[in-house]
Amino acid sequence: MDHNYIFYTGLPRSGSTLLSSILSQNPNIYSAGNSPVCQLIWDTFLSVSRNCKEQFISSNRDAAEFIEPIFDIYYKNVKSKFIFDKSRSWGHESNIALIKHCITETPKFVVLLRPIIEVFSSFVNLYDLNNIPTNFLYDLMFEENSEPIIRSYNCSLNLIEKHFENCLFIFYDDIINKPLDVISKVYSFCDIENNFTHNLNEIINKFPENDMDAYGVMGMHTVRPTISKRNYTVNIQNEAILELCTKMDQNLLKKYNEKLFYSS
């Protein structure tokens, strides 16, 4: 069947698994965990544009012929019409260019955001619960272009600055405090008929990820049956990290509010 693909992205620890679990209650929507499709189309593009460049030029073939079917191959067994493909890298400019050349000139990005200090604190708390030392997080999580925070932040910022009109930005606290409003906005933005009643008292992750084998951390994508914000206190004494998180948040909100003002 024909699928409508929505590019699901944003910051980690921002409620994407929770929102996916709610949306996937609707049989017309498929929203699972982290997808390899973004990496697959990029690897295919590299093969076409570099390793096989000479052959493609000589045969007058277009990379789009080979990149576009990757989506349909990966989701061949999915019957839902609307598919939210989740990758933190969809907001990278190179990936957006591929989407527009090979998939659709008018992509829709659902972008989840949360204060960076809360994102980092959530990771620290998660590692504490798994009895994993967290000292290394301070050294690694804010290195240039590193995952999961910095690259995701840069991709989200790029979507704000260059592709605002193609995006629906959702803040974590709105998912927690105004879930029905968020759901309504998603339906409207994605042109999904809003005739389904979601159950917010029995939320189940239909597509659980193998967190331990994939990330080495249990509970990274655990979803509770009802919506509530986790109450935990993380004592971050590293002043440099606190200052960096504050600057990142201020920069992102400034860019977002500027775009929101000029687009309204």
- Report residue 175 as tokens: 């998912």
Question: What confidence tens digit (pLDDT) does each residue in 219-258 have?
Answer: 999 999 999 887 666 777 788 888 999 999 999 999 999 9
User: Looking at residues 39-64, what average pLDDT do you find?
Assistant: 87
Closest CA to 229 of 53, 18, 79: 18
Q: What's the pLDDT score for residue 167?
A: 98
Q: What's the pLDDT score for residue 232?
A: 65
Question: What confidence tens digit (pLDDT) does each residue in 62-104 have?
Answer: 878 888 899 999 999 999 999 999 999 999 999 999 999 989 9
User: Looking at residues 139-144, what average pLDDT do you find?
Assistant: 87
Domain extent at residue 124: 4-263
Residue 223 one-letter amino acid? V
* Residue 111 pLDDT level (bands cut at 50, 70, 90): very high
The CATH number linked to 178 is: 3.40.50
Q: Which helix (H) or strand (E) holds 10?
A: strand 4-10
Neighbouring C-alpha atoms within 13 Å toward the C-beta of 40? 15
If one counts every other C-beta atom within 10 angstroms of the C-beta of residue 176, the result is 15
Would the pTM count as exceeding 0.85? yes
Cα–Cα distances (Å) from 45 to 26, 149, 151, in that order, read: 33, 25, 20
User: Looking at residues 154-171, what average pLDDT do you find?
Assistant: 98
Strand-pairing partners, residue 38, are none
Total tally of structural domains belonging to the chain? 1
Strand-pairing partners, residue 5, are 83
Q: What's the pLDDT score for residue 1?
A: 54
Decide if pLDDT at 57 tops 60. Answer: yes
| Residue 131 Ramachandran class (φ > 0 left, ψ -120 to 50 alpha, else beta) | left
Specify which of 8-17, 44-53, 215-224 reaches the highest per-range mean pLDDT: 8-17
* Residue 175 pLDDT level (bands cut at 50, 70, 90): very high
- Report residue 7 as tokens: 């590019």
Q: Across all residues in the chain, what is the average pLDDT?
A: 92
CA distance 54 to 97: 22
CA distance 248 to 132: 26
User: Looking at residues 125-150, what average pLDDT do you find?
Assistant: 88
